């Protein structure tokens, strides 16, 4: 219960604990969401923040953008480059989502995955841990020529 929730309970005569101990963790229950949002035109350091946060995440999501920008993640002295794949997918315990607002250049997505898999074992099994929205925007070579 938040501090204000505790005060509300006390005002209504409900019993509450005055212990300073944190509540016991509930195993296997995800109840925390962290959003990294940029308010400029990129190059804000979002990738570095996401890399740190994704180490403890169960789920990561890329919500918008395309493969025109990217960032590098270093794991065990190996540099991985990400443009479309959510960089948190490098954690083998993570399920990664690509959302509705992402423009997915399919050849680029598979090239990126293949290059990163060849660099090290961190991306092994990425295809079983990636979920792509059926409303994401798909682009291929024909869109490049237009």
Nearest one of 129, 72, 80, 130 to 102, comparing CA atoms:
130
Binding site annotation covers 79? Answer: no
Cα Rg of the chain, angstroms: 20
Per the annotation, the verdict on 16 as an active-site residue is no
Binding site annotation covers 71? Answer: yes
In the prediction, which pLDDT does 44 show? 78
Q: Answer with the residue of higher pLDDT: 142 or 98.
A: 98
In angstroms, the CA 99 to CA 59 distance is 13
For the chain, the structural domain boundaries read: 59-138
Binding site annotation covers 57? Answer: no
Q: What is the CATH T-level fold of the domain 59-138, as seen in this structure?
A: Adenylosuccinate Synthetase; Chain A, domain 1 (3.40.440)
Per the annotation, the verdict on 71 as an active-site residue is yes
- 128 pLDDT band, cuts 50/70/90, is very high
Express each pLDDT in 32-80 by its tens digit.
888 888 887 767 777 778 888 888 889 999 888 888 878 888 888 999 9
- Indicate which residue of 8, 16, 43, 114 is catalytic: 43
- Total number of residues shown for the chain: 146
Binding site annotation covers 38? Answer: no
Sign of CA dihedral 110, 112, 117, 123: negative
Express each pLDDT in 133-145 by its tens digit.
999 999 876 655 5
pTM, to two decimals: 0.70
């Amino acid at each position: 219960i938040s501090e204000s929730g505790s005060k509300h309970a006390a005002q209504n005569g409900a019993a509450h604990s005055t212990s300073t101990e944190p509540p016991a963790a509930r195993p296997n229950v995800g109840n925390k969401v962290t959003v990294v949002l940029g308010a400029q035109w990129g190059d804000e350091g979002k990738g570095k923040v996401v890399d740190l946060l994704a180490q403890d995440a169960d789920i990561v999501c890329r919500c918008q953008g395309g493969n025109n920008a990217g960032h590098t993640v270093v794991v065990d002295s190996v540099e991985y480059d990400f443009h479309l794949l959510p960089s948190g997918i490098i954690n083998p315990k993570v399920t990664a989502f690509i959302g509705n607002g992402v423009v997915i250049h399919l050849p680029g997505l598979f090239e990126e995955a293949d290059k990163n898999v060849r660099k090290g074992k961190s991306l092994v099994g990425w295809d079983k841990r990636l979920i792509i929205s059926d409303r994401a925007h798909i682009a291929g070579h024909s869109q490049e020529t237009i």
